[in-house]
Structure 1
Amino acid sequence: MSNINMIIEERPADIGNFLVGRLLPFRGKRKVGPFIFIDHMGPANLKEFQNIDIGPHPHIGLSTLTYLFEGAIMHKDTLGNNIEIKPGQVNWMTAGKGIVHSERTPEYLRHSDKKLHGLQIWVALPRELEEMEPDFFHAETDQIPEWQQDGVNYKLIAGSAFDQNSPVPVYSNLYFLEIKSTVEQRVNIGSDLFGEAGLYILEGSIESEGITYEPKRILVSKDSQLCEFVMHANTTIYIFGGDPFPEERLIYWNFVSTNRDLIEAAKLNWQQQNFPVIEGETGFIPLPDSGSALKPK
């Protein structure tokens, strides 16, 4: 009997500058472990006049994870961080009670052709930490644990798995793994994972119980036992998940909480511009109306 409980395909979502492939939330699956939002950005070939300009916008109740395969993004926030995100680095911002950040094409790339490809992910905070002080962590590529096993390359981007620990300061039991193989290879995950688990196929394909699964989809397992599968040549997958929270999470735009009152307060504070201000930034993204706020598809 198959251990795959659900298949979620990317759906196009307009984030203002270009289309992304939205994976979570999904109407039949709002979250996998603590992971509540995953967007696949690109791959996009941007002309010299096309730049990423996501102006100041707020978050509460979550941590954001930005992980690039190609290109670069300048991150600025109200904690004073002003840092370029490059491929292989991990940008981890914890909003807690409230933070504002912007994401833009770096100045040195704004007048030339460039590429952009990566993942943007939201991880919900435990209920008792939803109003914690905001925090920020940036990991260089060489800080992320990497290893090889049976011809397969592993990278632990966040969390804990296979007796490895990422330096990214997560706030619940979770894992986010990159697995790559250049040749056809059978992979046995075994019992090293826990909680709920999802498998995202970025490129290539995998085979499980005689069925081949193509890129740009998430396979959600019935439990954390992903068992065995075959990675075809030149395949990259991401396995993510962890212990689910006992409470549901409410999502409105960039606000996540177990408490509707906290979301309503955040909406009002953003409308009245009571959030902190990013030094050197001007303008802001207005609060969307109820009809255009984030809704699972």
Structure 2
Amino acid sequence: MSNLGLIIEEKAADIGNFLVGRLLPFREKRAVGPFVFIDHMGPAALKDYQNLDVAPHPHIGLSTLTYLLEGAIQHKDSLGNDLEIQPGAVNWMTAGTGVVHSERTPEYLRSTEKHLHGFQIWVGLPKDLEQSEPSFHHTEAADVPGWTDGGLRYKLIAGELSGRKSPVPVHSLLFFLEISSTGIQKVNIGSELFGEVAMYVLNGTVTVDGQVFGGKQLLIAKDAKLCEFEMSDSATVYLFGGEPFPEERYIFWNFVNSDKAVIEKATENWHQQNHEAFPLVPGDTDDYVPLPEAVLKSRLSR
């Protein structure tokens, strides 16, 4: 009997002038553990006149995780943080009651050809932390736990697994693990996993229950404890998941919360540009991302 519960094909989605592959949420699976949203950015080769420019935009009730494989992003937020995200580092921002941030190509790269590739992830907050004060933490690539086991290389990007713990200050029981192979390798990690688990195949192939899967597919297991698969030579996969929340999480545009009324208030505050609720981003105040027309129409139709 197969342990595969669901196979999700990557879907294209636009953020500004950049195309990403949206993995979650999906109609048949809204979350995996506390993970509620995952975008796969790129890989993209950008010309000297093409840049990532996601203007200041808000979040509530979640933590954002940015993990780059190639390129660089300049992160600025309403807490006053201003830093460049490099490949292998983990950018972790907890929105809580509300935070605003922008993501742009660093100034020194804006007139050159460059590449951009990575993941942008939203992790829901436990109910008692949804109204916490916003915070920010940046983990350098050298501080991300990594180890080898035979022909497999592991990186624990966030959470706890196999007796190891990432320094990223997560707020619930979760894991986000990178596995890469040299040669054909069998992986039996189910005994280390907990809660729900999904696997994203970045490159190469994996064989699960006799079926071969390639890139741009998200595989969700019925039982994390039965997570076994075979990786092809030079393959890379990501396992993520953890304990799901007892309450449903609602997603409306950039807002996540277990209470629809909190989301409605945040939507109104951003539409009215209430800077007490959503402060300006120092050094990036010339523009912002307005509520999309579809969001405005859905509010007016209620």
Q: What range describes the TM-score normalised by the shorter chain of this pair?
A: over 0.9
1-structure distance, mates of 2:257, 2:28: 20
| TM-score, normalising length: structure 1 | 0.97
Instruction: Identify unmatched segments of 5+ residues in structure 2.
Output: none
2-structure distance, mates of 1:246, 1:30: 14
1-structure distance, mates of 2:198, 2:270: 33
Alpha carbons of structure 1 residues 265 and 48: separation in structure 2 relative to 1, 3 Å: same
Contact 1:23-1:38 within 8 A present in 2 as well: yes
2-structure distance, mates of 1:215, 1:91: 24
Contact 2:190-2:224 within 8 A present in 1 as well: no
Q: Does 1:288 pair with 2:292?
A: yes
2-structure distance, mates of 1:111, 1:226: 49
2-structure distance, mates of 1:220, 1:46: 32
Name the structure 2 match of 1:63.
Answer: 63
SS at match of 2:225: coil
Name the structure 2 match of 1:39.
Answer: 39
| Deviation of the 1:209 alpha carbon | 1.9
2-structure distance, mates of 1:117, 1:287: 26
SS at match of 2:96: coil
Q: Does 1:247 pair with 2:256?
A: no
1-structure distance, mates of 2:164, 2:178: 13
Contact 2:253-2:295 within 8 A present in 1 as well: no
Letter in structure 2 aligned against 1:169: P
Letter in structure 2 aligned against 1:154: Y
Alpha carbons of structure 1 residues 291 and 263: separation in structure 2 relative to 1, 3 Å: closer
Letter in structure 1 aligned against 2:203: E
Contact 1:25-1:37 within 8 A present in 2 as well: yes
2-structure distance, mates of 1:227, 1:59: 33
| Deviation of the 1:34 alpha carbon | 0.3
| Deviation of the 1:129 alpha carbon | 0.5
Residue-pair matches, total: 294
2-structure distance, mates of 1:190, 1:23: 22
Contact 1:159-1:165 within 8 A present in 2 as well: yes
Q: Work out which of the residue numbers 263, 274, 281 in structure 2 matches 1:278.
A: 281
Contact 1:197-1:226 within 8 A present in 2 as well: no
Contact 2:205-2:232 within 8 A present in 1 as well: yes
Q: Indicate the percent of aligned positions where both proteins have the same amino acid.
A: 61
| Deviation of the 1:230 alpha carbon | 0.7
1-structure distance, mates of 2:227, 2:272: 51
Contact 1:205-1:235 within 8 A present in 2 as well: yes
Contact 2:193-2:224 within 8 A present in 1 as well: yes
Contact 1:33-1:241 within 8 A present in 2 as well: yes
Letter in structure 1 aligned against 2:290: P
1-structure distance, mates of 2:16, 2:53: 9
1-structure distance, mates of 2:98, 2:293: 20
Contact 2:257-2:263 within 8 A present in 1 as well: yes
Name the structure 2 match of 1:189.
Answer: 189
SS at match of 1:31: coil
Q: Does 1:267 pair with 2:267?
A: yes
| Deviation per residue, 1:50-71 (Å, 9 max, x gap) | 0011000000000000000000
Name the structure 2 match of 1:111.
Answer: 111
2-structure distance, mates of 1:197, 1:83: 32
Alpha carbons of structure 1 residues 292 and 51: separation in structure 2 relative to 1, 3 Å: farther
Letter in structure 1 aligned against 2:115: K
SS at match of 1:225: helix
2-structure distance, mates of 1:69, 1:292: 35
2-structure distance, mates of 1:141, 1:270: 34
Contact 1:253-1:293 within 8 A present in 2 as well: no
- Root mean square deviation of aligned Cα: 1.3
| Deviation of the 1:235 alpha carbon | 0.3
1-structure distance, mates of 2:160, 2:58: 28
| Deviation of the 1:226 alpha carbon | 4.0
| Deviation per residue, 1:136-166 (Å, 9 max, x gap) | 0100011110001122000000000000000
Letter in structure 2 aligned against 1:228: E
Contact 1:145-1:164 within 8 A present in 2 as well: yes
Contact 1:73-1:105 within 8 A present in 2 as well: yes
Name the structure 1 match of 2:257.
Answer: 257
Name the structure 1 match of 2:22.
Answer: 22
| Deviation per residue, 1:50-102 (Å, 9 max, x gap) | 00110000000000000000000000001110000000000000000000000
SS at match of 1:142: helix
| Deviation per residue, 1:179-228 (Å, 9 max, x gap) | 00021111111311100000000000001221101111110001212432
1:1-297 paired onto structure 2 within 5 Å? 1-274=1-274, 275-281=278-284, 282-290=286-294
